[in-house]
């Protein structure tokens, strides 16, 4: 690896070496606040270096891209790590979680997500995917005194192992059929004779698609999602719901933009997965009485919408999907940050009975939650509306009318259960109790997320122009 490669990897190196230093420091120094501060500074430095340092080479060791698209997502995941640490600061202190271990795992996860978003090689894809997945196994089960957290961690571990197996086997089949692990070279070899994927290559991509289905909760591979969301602590759930899924979608967009018609032979299957996912998430959320489980099914619906954008395989579809990822990350992170900020000695408010009338006790944070939920629903003037509109417009231009109608139906159903939560928050209830008032860190994250939702809803062109410029 040359000096140019090392310079191109500077943001990743900052995250990895910073995480390692904090992990070692945590073994000797147990005071959490300095370790948290170090983690936040490391994440911000990673984002700053990705934004300011222009790499001298387009690729890193033939495994990862170092272009604008990769740096864009490195900034996003680094900022997500910083926000996640700010949101989880009180959780670490009150639950007496090892700060060094927790902070380092979040930074390792951010590095893995950044690498996954820039992968140009199937081995690089596999390594990056497993890097942040391993970190999340531990983070989910970090509260050893909570049975739900242990159960959630075990479920995520077992199903993650299944997904890993499918991914590894799929990569092996593609290599056996093409003799290459480099994209788009492997795709060109697989389609060289007939213009269509060879049988073994088709099976390999199908297995990778199944692995992706597990990772981002595509139906029918989504059944782990509600249990894991409910059991994991809210700060970790916020990272899991946003970064781990967004990074996989980002990798799909990057690989398909570079490789051409990978999914042409899998179009019908992807169409079916997108339709099932949007409907399963929407109808599944209707029967929930737990906010975290509702948000879990909500995320399933959003993953189906993102898959619709990816399915278009056009520049507009890829741009719309990338915009949607950013909006989804900001909005979902904010929603889980609200839950985390209210947690106290009783735990987190989860059931609807605990949320009823809470808007009168905590009007500001509940108001932020309402804004974020309405954005997830796609209400006009919010970022969520522009995200859905652009994906639906790309689907219309690509001729996916049936899938577009299913997406609209899922959005209408989603609006119903989001509105239900909104009405619940401001339903008079004399038994409603007060929860934690929140910290400066938590309120800062909420302010940034709510502001971003409004700004991107009113001025989406600023981000769209950047996305069109950096797409591979």
The DSSP 8-state label assigned to residue 120 in this structure reads: -
pLDDT(82) > 70: yes
Cβ proximity of 7 and 66 under 8 Å: no
Distance (Å, whole) CA 437 – CA 91: 14
The pLDDT tens digits for 153-191 are 888 988 888 898 999 998 888 888 877 787 767 766 766
Name residues whose C-beta falls within 8 Å of residue 316's C-beta, 6 or more positions apart in sequence.
390, 393, 394, 397
What's the chain's Rg over C-alpha atoms?
A: 21
Name residues whose C-beta falls within 8 Å of residue 344's C-beta, 6 or more positions apart in sequence.
435, 436
Phi, psi of 290, deg, nearest 5: -125, 125
Structure-block tokens of residue 465? 């122009």
Q: Which residues pair with 347 in a beta bridge?
A: 344
The pLDDT tens digits for 85-131 are 999 999 998 888 888 999 999 999 999 999 999 888 888 888 998 88
Structure-block tokens of residue 414? 């989603």
Q: Specify the pLDDT at position 263.
A: 63
Q: Which of 298 and 1 is assigned the larger pLDDT?
A: 298
Angle between helices 291-312 and 383-398 (to 10 degrees): 40
DSSP reduced 3-state for 118: coil
Q: How far apart are the first and last CA of the chain?
A: 23
How many CB atoms within 10 Å of residue 246? 27
Q: Which residues pair with 59 in a beta bridge?
A: 65
The pLDDT tens digits for 203-213 are 888 888 899 99
DSSP reduced 3-state for 338: helix
DSSP reduced 3-state for 290: strand
What's the mean pLDDT in 328-344?
Answer: 94
Q: Specify the pLDDT at position 334.
A: 95
* CA 320 distance to own-chain centroid: 16
Torsion of CA 131, 132, 136, 138, to 10 degrees: 30
pTM: 0.94
* Closest alpha carbon to 391 in 317, 458, 460, 470: 317
Taken in order 87, 91, 92, 94, the sign of the CA dihedral is: positive
Query: In percent, how much of the chain has pLDDT > 90?
Result: 54
Q: Specify the pLDDT at position 329.
A: 96
């Amino acid at each position: 690896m040359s000096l140019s490669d090392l310079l191109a990897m500077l943001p990743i190196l900052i995250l990895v070496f910073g995480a390692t230093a904090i992990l070692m420091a945590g073994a000797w120094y147990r005071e959490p606040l300095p370790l948290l501060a170090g983690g936040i500074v490391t994440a911000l430095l990673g984002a700053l270096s990705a934004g300011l340092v222009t790499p001298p080479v387009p690729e890193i060791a033939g495994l990862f891209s170092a272009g604008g698209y990769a740096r864009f997502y490195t900034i996003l995941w680094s900022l997500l790590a910083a926000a996640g640490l700010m949101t989880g600061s009180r959780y670490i202190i009150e639950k007496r979680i090892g700060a060094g271990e927790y902070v380092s795992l979040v930074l390792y996860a951010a590095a893995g997500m950044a690498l996954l978003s820039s992968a140009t090689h199937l081995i690089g894809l596999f390594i990056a995917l497993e890097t942040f997945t391993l970190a999340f196994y531990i983070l989910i089960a970090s509260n050893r005194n909570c049975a739900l957290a242990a159960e959630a961690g075990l479920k995520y571990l077992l199903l993650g192992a299944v997904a890993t197996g499918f991914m590894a086997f799929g990569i092996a089949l593609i290599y056996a059929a093409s003799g290459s692990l480099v994209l788009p070279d492997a795709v060109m070899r697989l389609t060289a004779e007939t213009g269509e994927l060879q049988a073994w290559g088709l099976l390999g991509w199908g297995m990778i698609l199944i692995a992706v289905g597990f990772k981002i909760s595509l139906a029918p591979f989504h059944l782990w999602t509600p249990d894991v969301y409910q059991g994991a602590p809210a700060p970790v759930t916020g990272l899991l719901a946003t970064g781990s899924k967004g990074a996989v979608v980002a990798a799909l967009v990057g690989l398909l933009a570079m490789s051409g018609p990978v999914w042409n032979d899998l179009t019908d299957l992807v169409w079916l997965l997108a339709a099932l996912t949007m409907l399963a998430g929407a109808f599944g959320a209707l029967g929930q009485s737990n906010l975290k489980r509702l948000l879990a099914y909500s995320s399933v619906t959003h993953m189906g919408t993102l898959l619709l954008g990816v399915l278009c395989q056009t520049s507009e579809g890829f741009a719309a999907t990338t915009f949607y990822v950013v909006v989804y990350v900001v909005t979902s992170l904010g929603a889980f940050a609200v839950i985390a900020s209210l947690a106290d000695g009783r735990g987190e408010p989860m059931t609807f009975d605990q949320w009823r009338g809470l808007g009168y006790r905590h009007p500001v944070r509940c108001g932020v939650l309402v804004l974020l939920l309405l954005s997830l629903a796609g209400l006009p003037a919010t970022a969520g509306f522009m995200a859905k509109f652009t994906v639906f417009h790309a689907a219309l231009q690509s001729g996916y009318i049936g899938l577009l109608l299913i997406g609209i139906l899922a959005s209408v159903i989603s609006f119903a259960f989001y509105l239900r939560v909104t009405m619940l928050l401001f339903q008079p209830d004399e038994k409603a109790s007060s929860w934690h008032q929140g910290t400066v860190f938590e309120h800062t994250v909420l302010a940034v997320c709510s502001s971003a939702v409004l700004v991107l809803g009113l001025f989406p062109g600023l981000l769209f122009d950047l996305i069109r410029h950096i797409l591979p």
